[in-house]
Amino acid sequence: MALLSATAVLDFPSVGIGADEELTITVPGALVGDAVMLGLPATFEADLIAFAFVTAANTVTVRVVNHTGAVINPASGTFRVCLDR
């Protein structure tokens, strides 16, 4: 087995009430169906929920969801994704 890993600085736009936003990270070798572990930046907004999944070969999508009653504009930060292949 090999560990695949990549980092990227992601700058999500404002996330509306009950909405979500997605950005991608390129991870060479990633395949749809692979399990993904997501590392969040220390500055990540506590009220947002974040998860990641492989959406196409070599592409991991990071989705943030806002279940609060206010619009949140998260700060940009370095996100890490790891996959065990």
- Closest Cα to residue 10, out of 34, 33, 44? 44
CA distance 33 to 35: 6
For the beta sheet containing 48-56, the strands, ordered from the edge strand earlier in sequence to the opposite edge, are 20-26, 59-66, 48-56
Q: What b-and-e string marks burial along 69-83, b requiring 16 or more CB atoms within 10 Å of the CB?
A: eeebebeebebebbb
Global pTM value: 0.94
pLDDT tens for the chain, residues 1 to 85: 789 999 999 999 999 999 999 999 999 999 999 999 999 999 999 999 999 999 999 999 999 999 999 999 999 999 999 998 7
User: With contact defined as beta carbons under 8 Å apart, do 50 and 38 qualify?
Assistant: yes
CATH no., domain 3-84:
2.60.40
